[in-house]
Structure 1
Amino acid sequence: MRDGIRLRGKAQLGASAKVTASEILAENTLALHLTKPADFSHRPGQWLRLTLPTTGESRILSIVSAPHEPVLTLATRISDSTFKRALMKLSAGAELGITQASGHFTLQEDVSRPAVFIAGGIGITPFMSMIRTAAKTASVQKIILFYANRTASSAAFLSELQDLANTNPSFDLVATLTAPKDDTTAGTGETGKVDHEMLMRHLPDLAAPIYYCVGPTAMVRATRQTLLAAGICEADMVFETFTGY
Structure 2
Amino acid sequence: MSYNVTIRDIQQVTHDVKRFKVDKPEGFEFIPGQATEVAIDKPDWREEKRPFTFTSLNGEPDLEFVIKIYDDHNGVTHKLDSLNVGDQLIIDDPWGTIQYKGPGIFLAGGAGVTPFIAILRRLAREEKIEGNQLIFSNKTEKDIILKDEFEAMLGDDFINVITDEPTDEHIYLDGFIDKSFLEEQIDDFDQPFYVCGPMPFNEAMIEYLKELGAEPDALVFEE
SS of alignment partner, residue 205 of structure 1 = coil
Q: Secondary structure at the residue paired with 2:11?
A: strand
Distance in 1, matches of 2:136 and 2:222, equals: 15
Please give the root-mean-square deviation of Cα atoms over the aligned residues, in Å.
Answer: 2.0
Scaled by the length of structure 1, the TM-score of the pair is 0.80
Superposition misfits of 4+ residues, deviation over 6 angstroms: none
1:106 aligned partner: 99
Aligned residue among 33, 40, 47 for 1:52: 40
Partners of 2:25 and 2:109 lie apart in 1 by 31
Distance 2:179 2:81 in 1: 38
CA contact (8 A) 1:115 1:141 kept: no
Structure 2 segments unaligned to the other structure (5+ residues): none
Query: Is the aligned partner of 1:90 residue 2:83?
Result: yes
Question: Is 1:179 paired with 2:164?
Answer: yes
* C-alpha distance after superposition, 1:152-194 (max 9, x if no partner): 101111121111123xxxx8211111112x4xx47xx443332
Q: In the TM superposition, what is the alpha-carbon distance from 1:141 to its structure 2 partner?
A: 5.6
Residues 97, 221 of structure 2: 8 Å contact kept? no
Secondary structure in 2 matching 1:191: coil
- Kept in 2, the 8 Å contact 1:215–1:240? The answer is no
1:236 counterpart = 2:218? yes
SS in 1 for 2:160: strand
Deviations 1:26-70 (A, max 9, x none): 232222111122211111000011122213132221111122332
Query: 1:222 Cα deviation (Å)?
Result: 1.2
Are residues 117 and 140 of structure 1, via their aligned partners in 2, closer, same or farther at CA, if it must alter by over 3 Å? closer
**Matching residue of 2:69:** 78
Shift of 1:140: 5.8
2:3 paired with 1:15: yes
Q: When the two structures are superposed, what TM-score results if normalisation uses the length of structure 2?
A: 0.88
Following superposition, the deviation at residue 95 of structure 1 comes to 1.8
Q: Secondary structure at the match of 1:122?
A: helix
Correspondence for 1:160 among 135, 149, 173: 149
Which deviates the most, 227-236 or 120-129? Answer: 227-236
Give the distance between the partners of 1:131 and 1:69, measured in 2 at CA.
15
Is residue 69 from structure 1 mapped to residue 60 from structure 2 by the alignment?
A: yes
**Are the aligned partners of 2:135 and 2:158 in contact in 1 as well (CA < 8 Å)?**
yes
1: CA distance, partners of 2:121 / 2:143: 20
Tell me, in whole angstroms, the C-alpha distance in 1 between the residues paired with 2:203 and 2:15: 25
Q: 1:219 to 1:52 in 2, by over 3 A?
A: same
Question: Alignment partner for residue 223 of structure 1, among 182, 205, 209?
Answer: 205
Partner of residue 177, structure 2? 194
Alignment length (residue pairs) = 215
Give 1:34-49 correspondences, 5 Å limit.
Answer: 34-49=22-37
CA distance in 2, matches of 1:84, 1:231: 38
Is the Cα–Cα contact under 8 Å of residues 44 and 130 in structure 1 kept in the other structure?
A: yes
Question: Secondary structure in 1 aligned to 2:181?
Answer: helix
Q: In the TM superposition, what is the alpha-carbon distance from 1:237 to its structure 2 partner?
A: 1.2
Judged with a 3 Å threshold, the aligned counterparts in structure 2 of structure 1 residues 69 and 200 are, in CA distance, closer, same or farther, namely: farther
1:78-110 Cα deviation digits (max 9, x unpaired): 1223322221111111122212222221112xx
Please give the per-residue CA displacement for 1:126-146, whole angstroms capped at 9, x wherever unaligned. Answer: 000100000011116621111
